[in-house]
Structure 1
Amino acid sequence: MTFQGFEQADFDVFQIDGLDERMEALKSQIRPKLDQLGQHFGPTLSTMAGEEMHVHVAKHARRTKNPPKDTWVAFSSNPRGYKMQPHFQIGLWETHVFVWFAVIYEAPAKAAIGKKLEQDLESIFTRTPNNFFWSSDHMKPEAIQHSELSKEELLSMFKRLQTVKKAEILCGLTIPREEAIKLSGKELLSKIEFVFKETLPLYKIA
């Protein structure tokens, strides 16, 4: 089945009260689409990265009371998981779709990655498209647009990655819900592929 894009009903899932009820809706409404995105981009990213990229659809299995506020599919070179290494993500909050290159707090090589990013600050700052976003916490929906960021602020994010245990770095695109639901599946796939191409150098550095 081809990916049809996202619709209002997908975002409405995050308004459902109760863990079991929301999980049920996530599984039936959103997860099939994440599976499709995984099947589509697994091979694409493997070719781009020059190594096999494995697909990890969020299961939210450890949750016992709080219903998930977002959900995603991640791609990494580790077949067992993605949190320990640089990876790519596509997912949804109630307000938007996100497409990220990410190094999150579980990654043991975080400090070394932060150092490499710092050394490449100049080209990263120049090369990143102005409409892309940066985030230092994947658990929060807020992110800062590249065009609003000074070189010094980006440097401090890279430095923080080296010294702060909980620090993270994510770069990519967030697409507001209102815009996302107007995009066809094909248009969304092409936007996502563009983000992966643009953030691939960060993956290579990391």
Structure 2
Amino acid sequence: MSFQGFEKADFDVFEIDGLDERMEALKSQIRPKLEQLGQHFAPTLSNIAGEEMHYHVAKHARRTKNPPKDTWVAFASNPRGYKMLPHFQIGLWETHVFIWFAVIYEAPEKEAIGKKLEKDLHSIFARTPKNFYWSGDHMKPEATMHGELSNEDLLAMFQRLQTVKKAEILCGLNIPREEAIKLSGDEMLSKIEFVFKETLPLYRIA
């Protein structure tokens, strides 16, 4: 079955109370779509990145109390995991779809990656689309649009990645739920592929 896009019911999952109840809805409603996106984009990313990329659908297995507020599929070069590596993500909060290049706090090479990003600061600032977003915390839905950042703001994010243990860096596109549910499956796939290609230079730097 081909990817049909996201619908209102996908976002409504995050309004369900209770861990078991929300997890059950997440597994039946959203996870099959994340699997489809994983199967679709792993070969695409392998091709453009020049190395085999594997997809990992979030299982939320460690949760015992609080229901997940977001969910995702991640892509990385390691078949066993992604959190320790620079990677790509597609996922949902209740409010929007996110498409990220990401380096999160578990990555042991964070300091070195931050230095590489800082070294290439001016070209990164110049080539990032103004409607893309930057975030320093994948656990929060808030992010800042590139067009609202200065060179110095971005430099501070790259330097924070080098010095703060919990610091992260994410760059990509957020699509509000109202816009996302209007996009066909093919339109959504096209947007995701565009974001991956635009953020590929960040992946190569990292």
TM-score class normalised by the smaller sequence? over 0.9
State how many pairs are aligned: 206
Partner of 2:195: 195
Q: What's the offset of the Cα at 1:22?
A: 0.2
Partner of 2:185: 185
Partner of 1:132: 132
Partner of 1:107: 107
Give the alignment of 1:40-79 within 5 angstroms: 40-79=40-79
Write the distance in 1 (CA, Å) between the matches of 2:52 and 2:60: 24
Q: What's the offset of the Cα at 1:28?
A: 0.2
SS of the residue 1:161 aligns to: helix
The residue identity in structure 2 corresponding to 1:173 is L
Partner of 1:148: 148
Write the distance in 2 (CA, Å) between the matches of 1:78 and 1:138: 20
Write the distance in 2 (CA, Å) between the matches of 1:49 and 1:186: 22
Partner of 1:16: 16
Ranges of 4+ aligned residues in structure 1 off by more than 2 Å: none
Write the distance in 1 (CA, Å) between the matches of 2:92 and 2:2: 19
Matched, 1:85 2:89: no
Q: What's the offset of the Cα at 1:30?
A: 0.1
Gaps of 5+ in 1: none
Gaps of 5+ in 2: none
Write the distance in 1 (CA, Å) between the matches of 2:40 and 2:149: 32
SS of the residue 2:68 aligns to: coil
Give the alignment of 1:155-174 within 5 angstroms: 155-174=155-174
Write the distance in 2 (CA, Å) between the matches of 1:43 and 1:137: 28
SS of the residue 2:83 aligns to: coil
Give the TM-score normalised by the residue count of structure 1: 1.00
Write the distance in 2 (CA, Å) between the matches of 1:35 and 1:57: 7
Aligned CA RMSD, in angstroms, stands at: 0.2
SS of the residue 1:46 aligns to: helix
Partner of 1:39: 39
Write the distance in 2 (CA, Å) between the matches of 1:202 and 1:138: 17
The residue identity in structure 2 corresponding to 1:134 is W
Q: What's the offset of the Cα at 1:96?
A: 0.1
Write the distance in 2 (CA, Å) between the matches of 1:63 and 1:52: 30
SS of the residue 1:102 aligns to: strand
Q: What's the offset of the Cα at 1:187?
A: 0.2
Write the distance in 2 (CA, Å) between the matches of 1:19 and 1:162: 35
Write the distance in 2 (CA, Å) between the matches of 1:143 and 1:32: 27
SS of the residue 1:41 aligns to: helix
Deviations 1:16-35 (A, max 9, x none): 00000000000000000000
Deviations 1:132-188 (A, max 9, x none): 000000000000000000000000000000000000000000000000000000000
Write the distance in 1 (CA, Å) between the matches of 2:203 and 2:174: 18
Write the distance in 2 (CA, Å) between the matches of 1:86 and 1:97: 20
Give the TM-score normalised by the residue count of structure 2: 1.00
